[in-house]
Structure 1
Amino acid sequence: MVKFTKLTTLLAGAAFALSGTVALAADYTLTISSWAPPTHGINAKMWPKFVEMVEEATDGQVTAELKLGIAPPPAQMDLIMDGAADASIIFHGYQPGRFVTTKLIELPGYEGSAEAASVAYWRAYDSFLRAADEHRGVKVIALHTHGPAQLHSNASVTSLDDISGMKVRIPGGVGGDVGSALGATGIQVPAPKVYETLASKAADGVVMPLESRKGFKLTEVAQNVYEMPGGLYRGSFAFIMNEDSFADLPEDLQKKLDDQVFGEPLSREIGKIWDEIDAEGRAATEAADGNAINEASSDDQARFATIAEEVRTKVLAEISEAGVDADAAYDQIKSDLSGN
C-alpha cells in the first residue's frame, strides 16, 4: 500500500499533505485515514507530530499524507486491515465486543495527565495486553487516552441525580458502563456527529473530554459542563498501521521507526498533545458567553467513587476472562501514574 515516490515532488496541498517541508526526496509516502474534523487536534496536531517524528527518524525517506472521509470511525480498523490506507486512528469503544483489554485505561479513578496515562497504557500493553492479540491484522504503533471525560449538556447539571433519565451520547467501553451505572439512557453516536445530535435535541448531553468544547464546538450546543475531578472515564485510542505497508519498507527504516517513533515515544507525544487541546477546550468554555463549568460536590465525588469501584471490579473481571492478568496490569498503570 505504501506509495513509492523516488525523487518525485508531492503535489502541493494534495490530500492534506502534512509534511512540514515538501518532501522532494521522500522514498515512501504513507496514506493516513482520519475521521475527525479537519481542525480537530487529531488532524491539526497529532498527525503532523507523527509525520514530523517519522521524517526525522528516517532522514526524510518516509513521509505521509492525510486523507479525510475515507470511512466512518467504526470502519477504520477494517479499512487498514484491507490496505485501503496505511495508517489510521481508532477509538476502541466504537466496536463493542471487539476490544476488551483496552477498557483497562478507560477506568475512572486514575490520576495524572493524558501524557502520563498514555505512557502507562503503552507499558501495560507491552507487558500484559499485547498477549490478548485484539489488534490482530494490524500493527499497533501507539496507544493513548484522552483527558478526563465530563458531561456536557444544554441544561445545567449540578448533581449526579440530575443525570438519571437523561439521554446521553456515551461511547462504548467503560463510558457505557459508567453511563448505565448513573442511570442515563445511552445513545451511541460517533464523535463527528455529536454537534448535530445535540442541536437536533436527539440527546440531552454527551460525555467527552474538555477538548470537545472546541474540537466539536460544544460551546454552541452544550453550554454546561458537569465536571467530576478525575473524569467519568478516559477513552482508549490506537494509532494503527497496515502490516504489509510496514513490511514493504526496507529493514533499516523499519528498525528506525520501531526504535525511535512507534510505541512509547509516539504514545507520549500524542498524550501530550491531548493535554494541550483539553486546556484549549477549557479556555474556550471560560471565554464563551453563557457557558459554565459546575464541579461535582464533595458528596457527589464520594458517591461516584463508590460507583467507580463497582465499574472497576466488573471490567477487571472481563479483562481477566480475556486471559490477561488484569490486576497486575491495573497495578502497573497505577504505579506508573504515581511515579513509582
Structure 2
Amino acid sequence: MWEDIMKFAQTALGGILLLAIPAMSMAQEVTLRLSHWVPAGIAPASKGIEPWAKDVEAASNGRIAIQIFPAQQLGKAPDHYDMAKQGIVDLAWVNPGYTAGRFPIYALTEVPFMADDSIKGAKAIHEWYLQYGAEQEMGDVKVCFIHPHAPGTLHSKEKITSPEGIKGKNVRPAHATMARFVSLLGGGPVQVPAPEVREALSRGTAEAVTFPWGSMYDFKLTDEVKEHLDMPFYLSAQVMIMNKASYEKLSAENKAVIDEHCSPEWSSKVAQGWYDDDMAARDKLIADPEQTLNVPTDDEVAAWRKAAEPLLDEWRKAVEAKGGDATAILDGYVKSLEANDARY
C-alpha cells in the first residue's frame, strides 16, 4: 500500500516538473535599464517609449524586462548618449541636438523646413542615417529607433509670423541648429532642457520657444505663450540607443527580438503615438479662445525658407570638416524624405 502511494507521488511530481519546464523556459532572463528625460505621463514616454518597451517584453515572451527611469532620474538630458555608451544604462533616449557639433551628419535633421510628416519622416530619417551616418557618428552604440514629434513650431508671447519678428527676442531653441537660426535672425538663444522651459518663460528669461504642439500642455506653457506660428517649422528627432556590450550579452533569441524592434518600420510605429498627441493638442489650442494660431502668408513662408539657407551652408562645412561628402549626404536625405512622402 505504502509503496503504491510513493510510486503515485513520484509519478505526479514528475508530471508537475515536466509541466514546469516550459514555464521556466519563459522566465525572465535579463533586465534592461532604460533612461529618458521627460516625465513619465507625457506623450513621448506614454505613447512612444513605453509601448515600444512593452512590445519588446511581449515579443520575448517575458525573457526581456525593461525597467524605465524617466525624468532625468539617472542623469541630465544632454548626458544620455554617454550614459548608454559607457554602460551606465542599457538603453537611452537621446536628443543629439543637445550636444552641439558632436553629430554633424545627424544635425541635418534639425535644419528647418525639410520635413512635414513625422511618421513617414521617422522611417525616412532612420533609413537615411543607417546608410550615411550611423556607423560614423554613433558606431559605439546600437541605434534602435528614431523618434521625432510632429513638426514643431514657434510659440511666443507676442505674435511672430516672419523672420523679422525674432530680432531682439530671447528664444528657447529645440536644439543646436535652431539655436544658430535664432542667432542668425538677431535673437538670443536660451538653451535649457525641455523640463526647464516653463521656468525660463515665466521668469522672462525667454519670450518664445520652438516646441511641438503637445508640449504646450505637457509642460503647462499655455499661460506663458499664447501666440503660435501655424506651419511645419522644424523636427527634433530623438534616438533610442543601446549599449553595445548589453546587446552582445543577449542570447541569440533575445538579440533577434531587439533587432526586430530596432528598425525603420518601428521608428514609424513609435512616432505615431506622439504625432496623434501633437495633433490633438493643436486642435485643443484652436478651440481655446485664449490661444491664437497665426498662419503665415506665402511670402512669409518664402522669407523663412530664405532665412534658413545659411544653416545648410554651415551644415555642409561642419560635415566636410569631418571628411564627409556633404553633397551626397544631403542628396540622400532629400531622396529618402521624398521616397517616404515626407518632404516639405
TM-score by length of 2: 0.85
Equivalent residue number for residue 84 of structure 2? 80
SS at match of 2:61: coil
SS of residue paired to 2:101:
coil
2:62 is the alignment partner of 1:60:
yes
Distance 2:31 2:150 in 1: 31
5+ residue gaps, structure 2, are 1-19, 21-25
CA contact (8 A) 1:34 1:89 kept: yes
- For the 8 Å contact 2:104–2:319, the answer to whether it is kept is yes
Once the two structures are TM-superposed, the CA of residue 322 in structure 1 deviates from its matched residue by 2.4
Give the match for residue 125 of structure 2: 121
**Residues 334 and 136 of structure 1: is their aligned pair in 2 closer, same or farther, counting only changes over 3 Å?**
closer
Matches within 5 A, 1:41-52: 41-52=43-54
Distance 2:69 2:131 in 1: 33
Asked if 1 retains the 8 angstrom alpha-carbon contact of 2:125 and 2:336, the reply is: no
2:333 is the alignment partner of 1:333:
yes
Instruction: Decide whether the 8 Å contact of 1:215 with 1:281 is kept in 2.
Output: no
Specify the SS of the correspondent of 2:222. Answer: helix
> Match for 1:45: what amino acid?
K
Deviations 1:276-327 (A, max 9, x none): 1221221232233411111222221111121222322221332233233332
- 1:245 equivalent to 2:249? Answer no
* Counterparts of residues 87-98 of structure 1 (less than 5 Å): 87-98=91-102
SS in 2 for 1:141: strand
Identical amino acids, percent of aligned pairs: 27
TM-score under structure 1 length normalisation? 0.86
Q: Structure 2 vs 1, CA of residues 271 and 324 (structure 1 numbering), >3 Å: closer, same or farther?
A: farther
Query: Which one has a larger percent helix, Structure 1 or Structure 2?
Result: 2
2:302 counterpart residue number: 302
CA-atom RMSD, angstroms? 2.1
Aligned partner of 2:163 among 148, 160, 164: 160
- 2:192 pairs, out of 183, 189, 192, with 189
Q: Which amino acid aligns with 1:246?
A: Y
Looking at structure 2, the residues matched to 139 and 97 of structure 1 have their Cα atoms a distance apart, in angstroms, of: 20
Q: In 2, are the aligned partners of 1:214 and 1:284 still within 8 Å (CA)?
A: no
1:151 counterpart (148, 154, 171): 154
| Deviation of the 1:171 alpha carbon | 3.6
Q: Report Cα offsets for 1:260-279 as digits up to 9, x if no partner.
A: 11121321222222321221
- Check whether the contact 2:153–2:232 (CA below 8 A) recurs between aligned residues: no
Aligned to 1:142: 145
The residue aligned with 1:256 is: 257
**Count of aligned residue pairs for this structure pair:** 314
Equivalents in 1 of 2:161, 2:130: separation in Å?
40
Partner of 1:235: 236
Q: From 226, 231, 246, give the equivalent of 2:229.
A: 226
CA distance in 1, matches of 2:182, 2:63: 46
CA distance in 1, matches of 2:247, 2:115: 35
Q: Aligned with 1:179: secondary structure?
A: helix
